[in-house]
Structure 1
Amino acid sequence: MMQRVGLIIILAFVLVNVSYFRRLVKEHDNWTATGILILIFAAFAVISNLTGVEITPHNNLISSTWLTGLPATDSIANTRTLAITVSGLVGGPVVGTAVGLVAGIHRVIQGNGSDLFYIASSVIVGLLSGMIGRKYLDKNQYPGMAIAALIGLGMEAVQMAFIFIFSTPGFELVQLIFFPMMILNSAGTAIFMSVISAYIHQEEQLRAVQTHDVLELADRTLPFFSSGLSETNAQQAAVIIREYTNFDAIGITDASDVLAHVGPGSDHHIPEKEVMTDLSKRVIATGQMRIAHSKAEIGCPHPGCPLAAAVVIPLIVQGHVVGTLKMYFTNPKDLTPVEEQLATGLASIFSSQLALGMAEEQSKLVKDAEIKSLQAQVNPHFFFNAINTISALMRTDADKARTLLLQLSTYFRTNLQGARETEISLQQEREHVNAYLSLEQTRFPDKYTVGFDVETSENVLLPPFTIQVLVENAMRHAFGNRRHDNHVWVLVSETKTHIQVAVKDDGLGIDEGVLPQLGKQVVASANGSGTALENLNARLTGLYGQESRLHFDTSAAGTTVSLLIPRKERVQNESLNR
């Protein structure tokens, strides 16, 4: 029996080393994943039946390699209950019950139709273990080793109760197998679950570390890529990228020339020279990522070039290839799908950083430079606070950290869009506000409640950041040191000709001495200067005239900031064309 348990544990090690199985375990609520988990654990249970130890009516033990059938008078000591219990703990009640049904039916068939009670007992074990497993799965975790051992002990006790009551030699059989079966199945369940938990936890920790490193890398390269593709910026960025990755060499080009090359091959991949490799030329021409696993595929004309594998990704800004990011290995075997995915992700981040820099540069050149400059601004304190929040979550909740990283990406994407357009749809503005709130409410949980009451089309147009500025202003200034029960309401309504936006709070009100200055000049305070309101007011009046300026209504019960702008709506095909 110890050998049989060992076989199941070996299978567990094999399974958790397969990334597809680990993905199935995390997607247990998906019906396709549930079906595949049932098939996998049902196979485990059948193998447990087939590798059992036969017990004759005289308590003689017959050990065979593959037990396909046995007389109706004989019994089996096996690890079926272990397989069923684990299936329930990993997959929940649906998986556990289904596996128990398959295992019980197979055991009855194996015994030539005898001992039908095994079907009922196996289903009950699968259902009970699945219900227990569901409680842990809802918390995104698995039971610890000691708890798993107790669960395995309890499930085997259920099986023993059925054998005692319904089996013909019930007392004698239970007396023979009780202690070894209880101990081995309990220990097997604990070891199996600890193997799965350890691997899943290790994978999550690794992802958290990788995400943290990518965030730190992005933070360090931001000043260089956002300043544009120059030789100096590219050289410093390449050094940082090589420091944070496993690649042997890093190259950066613009659309025609080498800007930087750090690592092997730097003797002939020289800045200010034209791009020489065929691989890079194809990427610039097509805008498609290319992967090379040999020197011939790289196409470097230099005879002694040590670079033997490469990933070359285009840097794309506003649909145009502005350069490439090239990552090289001297050993082709070092290039794995992990490095390919990393390179693709980094190129996307660097393209966004370049786009951010180009948007800022373009905003200075357009006719309404003052408005566009405001819309392109990114509060550095907000950015670093968000980065620090996400970094802290890496150690406690990697999934939440990844979600916030996506929200930060949404925030910057809408910032870039706001830098290009003087008006965006209400839907786009709400996405920007929601991204901001996700990050801020993670920093200050339960401090603010923000609600929306929208009585107009999501396609109506308004200046970028209008609602976001007012919501941020309320959250920062309205409540003083009050830590709970702080409410902000966003109200959007319409008439035939105008859209009215109001942001209301139940804060402490605005000091009467400050009120006349708000929206008109800088106002010194402990939490800011009022520049955002001044800039917003300037944008509104610049676009629509004095009738659209900000209005402030305040009392000890709270403040409402409102504005009125002409009603304009973006038609669907116009939105798509943009």
Structure 2
Amino acid sequence: MLVLSMIERLGIIVTVAFVLTRVSFFRRLLDQQAVIDRRQQLWLVIIFGCFGIIGTYMGLVINPIENSIERWTRVLGEDEAIANSRVLGIVVAGLLGGWKIGVSAGIIAGVHRIFLGGFTGIACGVATIIAGVIAGIVAKRQQKDGMVTPQVAFIVGGAAEAVQMLVILAVAKPFDKAMALVQDIGLSMIAANALGTALFILIIRSVVQEEEKMGAVQSQKALRIANSTLIHMRKGLTGVSASAVCAILYKEIPSLAVSITDRDHILSHIGKGEDHHRPAHDIRTEATRKVIENGQGMTVGKKAIQCNEKNCPLHAAVIVPLKQQEVTVGTLKVYFQSVRDISPIMMELIQGLSTLLSQQLEIAEGEKHRALAKELEIKALQAQVSPHFLFNAMNTIVSLIRTNPAHARKLLIALSSFFRQNLAGSTKSFSTLKEEVDHVKSYLSIEEARFQDRLNVLYDLDEEALSATVPSMTLQPLVENSIKHGLKSKLGDGVLQLSIQQKDSFVQVMVQDNGAGIPKERLQQLMTQQVESESGTGIGLYNVNERLKKMLSENAALNIRSSAGEGTSITFKITKNQPNIIEGAG
């Protein structure tokens, strides 16, 4: 009967445990990384000390001589003791707060028990302090494994009560009376306090785990939003990107509407009120301007929304800034029915979205700069190609001015045409293959004059394929490479062939010569680095290959086949209607 009577009174444990989980700094005890300051420690000592005192008053007065039980504690007589749940509160204090809080709470509850009197007063008071020590030691060893489990709490609660029974036997006098008391209440108190301690910890863990579960759900939602919005926000803060992002957020966040603005205008508004909160309208809300000015989010009610529409359903909103490099460039606004609908978890989610979207805008800015840097790099690669031909052309023309002025004049016209095309090519990123072929023909008219009868040029051109686009100044360096490194040392019968053919869904371009060929070890280096040569800088093939890959795709890379003494074939393939990879080129 005694154990059932004590278990009946565990209802107060459930109530206290639930109330404590509502106290923010109490929940910090459950975070192994949290730092509890002295003021919070003092409050916890007082709370658990009082909990121990309540456990004493809720106990049952036992008289082992008269074999009687009374329901409510009063000042005890010399023959009376208390069957109570005092140790429960002290053990929980030690398990959650460590030995300092456990012992301090034990001193409060223990001293109070001593002053109640009874032949077990001193023994029970000392045992209460010892319970705090035991729980604190166990808690310290459990820190690596996280929060104490209900199973551990059950064992510690029972063990602490068992220690109290031993202290009563060792300290309380007379011994016969102490033994009779322990026989009457020992097992019941051990069982009840073990069960109560485990129940207390179980309730706390359940509440905390529920909060952690809610946090995990919010984290998953944030990650899902991040994956969905990145593709849009990386294009910058525009009406199109804002509209797409608002649609995603409106679907994911339980709200009446979602809006995004820049510093001056509404970019998009999705949800309730979109009939009068329209894109391109000027920002009218003073609160929105304030967020833009100070970069701090805020929650506003219906009056602060400042909507002129009488029946507007938007009565509350959270407004947070969108930033680039710490400068506010716009706002995210999430609307609700009332301020009461904006929970702390919702506020945290919206603040997180503000940070997330701001970081995505930073990514957009970074990608914009990388694209500009890439375009500048490509322009630099193009500019490196032309000096090779210029020096050779001038030498050839100089040699002909006295011996054959008419031919020299034709070559000057060809050179003028070449550089006119060269200049046009350096100011745009892409050219058609027809423009590239005209460029090459101007170049070869000069080279044929320089080589005289030692160079024979063949063209195999599919007119339908010439409309395909390639990076400007792609063919001329390939042709120049064949002449300069393949045919220059050939004594006669040098053949250079340029072939452009339509092959199903792609166009194949080939520059082939019957020159000296490329050594195997040198061939392996040509496409991966600039290779120095006796007659040049080694940048021609490398740069063309890099531009094809950067501006078209990896599949457009050069394919070189060569063997010593048997010539070289350089081939690349492109899609017929290849889109310009760099936006704004031209």
TM-score by length of 2: 0.60
Identity %: 34
* Residues 513 and 112 of structure 1: CA distance in aligned 2, closer, same or farther (over 3 Å): farther
Structure 2 match to 1:191 = 199
* 1:385-443: CA deviation from partner (whole Å, max 9, x where unpaired): xxxxxxxxxxxxxxxxxxxxxxxxxxxxxxxxxxxxxxxxxxxxxxxxxxxxxxxxxxx
SS in structure 2 of the partner of residue 302 of structure 1: coil
- Which residue number in structure 2 is paired with residue 213 of structure 1? 221
CA displacement, residues 177-217 of structure 1 (integer Å, 9 cap, x when unaligned):
12321221121111111111222222222212211211221
* Cα drift, residue 344 of structure 1: 1.8
Q: Which amino acid aligns with 2:80?
A: D
* Residues 302-358 of structure 1 deviation map (CA, whole Å, 9 limit, x = unaligned): 222110000111212224321110100023321233322222221121112112212
Instruction: Output the CA distance in 1 between the equivalents of 2:298 and 2:209.
Output: 34
Give the equivalent residue in structure 2 for 1:249.
Answer: 257
* Pair 53,319 (structure 1): closer, same or farther in 2 beyond 3 Å: same
1:264 matched residue in structure 2: 272
1:141-190 CA distance string (max 9 Å, x none): 322x3443232222211111112232231111112212321221121111
Is 1:181 paired with 2:189? Answer: yes
Where does residue 12 of structure 1 map in the other structure? 17
Q: Is the 8 A contact 2:319 2:334 kept in 1?
A: yes
Matched residue, 2:474: none
2:243 is the alignment partner of 1:238: no
CA RMSD of aligned residues (A): 3.1
Structure 1 residues 47 and 518, CA, compared in 2 at 3 Å: closer, same or farther? farther
Q: How does 1:482-493 map to 2 (within 5 A)?
A: none
Distance 1:244 1:274 in 2: 27
CA distance in 1: counterparts of 2:268 and 2:523, whole angstroms: 53
Secondary structure of the residue aligned to 2:10 is helix
Residues 118, 519 of structure 1: alpha-carbon distance in 2 compared, 3 angstrom cutoff:
farther
Q: Specify which of 309, 315, 340 is matched with residue 316 of structure 2.
A: 309
In structure 2, the CA distance between the partners of 1:95 and 1:323, relative to structure 1 (3 Å rule), is same
* Alpha-carbon spacing, 1:58–1:307, altered in 2? closer, same or farther (3 Å): same
Q: Give the counterpart letter for 1:4 in structure 2.
A: R
**Structure 2 residue 130 is the aligned partner of structure 1 residue 119:** no
Structure 2 equivalent of residue 228 of structure 1: 236
| Residue type of the alignment partner of 1:240 | I
How big is each residue's C-alpha offset from its partner over 1:66-94, in whole Å with a ceiling of 9 and x where there is no partner?
x4632343211110111122222222222
Task: Say which is worse superposed, 117-126 or 299-308, in terms of deviation.
Answer: 117-126
Give 1:59's aligned residue.
Answer: 67
Alignment of 1:267-286 (within 5 A): 267-286=275-294
Structure 2 CA distance for aligned equivalents of residues 369 and 17 of structure 1: 60
Whole-angstrom CA distance in 2 between matches of 1:68 and 1:138: 43
1:125 positional shift: 1.8
Measure how far apart 1:249 and its partner are: 0.7
Q: How many Å separate the matches in 2 of 1:517 and 1:280?
A: 58
Offset of 1:262 from its aligned partner? 0.9
Distance 1:367 1:146, change over 3 A: closer
User: Could you tell me how far 1:53 is from its partner in structure 2?
Assistant: 1.9
Work out whether 1:43 is the aligned partner of 2:89.
no
Matched residue of 1:116: which SS?
helix
Which structure is larger by alpha-carbon Rg, 1 or 2?
Answer: 2
Residues 78/515 of structure 1: CA separation in 2 closer, same or farther (3 Å cut): farther
Q: Distance in 2 between matches of 1:208 and 1:258?
A: 33
1:348 is aligned to 2:355: yes
Q: Provide the TM-score with structure 1 as the length reference.
A: 0.60
* DSSP-derived class of the 1:304 partner: coil
1:368/1:155 CA distance change after superposition, 3 Å: same
The SS at the match of 1:138 is helix
The whole-number CA distance in structure 2 between the counterparts of 1:131 and 1:181 is: 22
Aligned CA distance change for structure 1 residues 3 and 230 (closer, same or farther; 3 Å): same
Distance (whole Å) between structure 2 residues aligned to residue 36 and residue 113 of structure 1? 32
Distance in 2, Cα, partners of 1:369 & 1:75: 91
Structure 1: runs of 5 or more not aligned: 372-511, 523-533, 539-578
Q: Distance in 2 between matches of 1:132 and 1:520?
A: 65
Correspondent of 1:164 among 169, 173, 179? 169
Displacement of 1:114: 6.9
User: Counterpart in 1 of 2:454?
Assistant: none
Match of 1:324 in 2: 331
Aligned to 1:376: none
- 1:333 matched to 2:337: no
Cα separation, partners in 2 of 1:51 and 1:317, compared to 1, 3 Å:
same
1:85 and 1:302 map into 2 onto residues whose CA distance is 61
Pick the aligned partner of 1:358 from 352, 359, 365. Answer: 365
| In 1: Cα distance, 2:94 partner to 2:530 partner | 65
Kept in 1, the 8 Å contact 2:119–2:172? The answer is: no
Query: Partners in 1 of 2:157 and 2:35 — Cα distance?
Result: 23
Runs (4+) off by over 4 Å: 363-371, 512-519
**How much has 1:4 moved relative to structure 2?**
3.1
Q: Which residue of 2 aligns with 1:292?
A: 300
Matched pairs, number: 381
Report the secondary structure of 2:165's partner residue: helix
Kindly provide the CA deviation profile for residues 498-528 of structure 1, in whole angstroms up to 9, marking residues without a partner as x. xxxxxxxxxxxxxx99997998479xxxxxx
- Contact 1:5 1:185 (8 Å CA) reproduced: no
The CA distance in 2 between the partners of 1:76 and 1:288, in whole Å, is 58
User: Do the aligned partners of 2:120 and 2:172 also contact (CA within 8 Å) in 1?
Assistant: no
SS at match of 1:212: helix
Q: C-alpha separation between the residues in 2 aligned to 1:335 and 1:150?
A: 43
Counterpart Cα distance in 1 of 2:94 and 2:123: 20
Partner of residue 95 from structure 2, selected from 67, 89, 111: 89
Structure 2: gaps (5+ residues):
1-5, 379-520, 532-541, 547-586
Does the Cα contact within 8 Å between 2:127 and 2:167 map onto a contact in 1? yes
Partner of 1:435: none
Pick closer, same or farther for the CA change 1:282–1:38 going to 2, 3 Å.
same
Matched letter for residue 17 of structure 1:
R
Q: Tell me, yes or no, if the aligned pair for 1:313 and 1:325 is still in contact at 8 Å.
A: yes
For each residue in 1:250-308, what CA deviation from the matched residue of structure 2 results, as whole angstroms up to 9, or x when unmatched?
00111111111111001111112222333323333443323212x21211122221100
Q: Distance in 1 between matches of 2:206 and 2:526?
A: 60
Helix, strand or coil at the partner of 1:70: coil
The whole-number CA distance in structure 2 between the counterparts of 1:356 and 1:213 is 21
Cα contact 2:320–2:351 (8 A) shared by 1: yes
Secondary structure class of the residue paired with 1:253: strand
1:8 is matched by which residue type in structure 2? I
Deviation of 1:237 (Å): 0.5
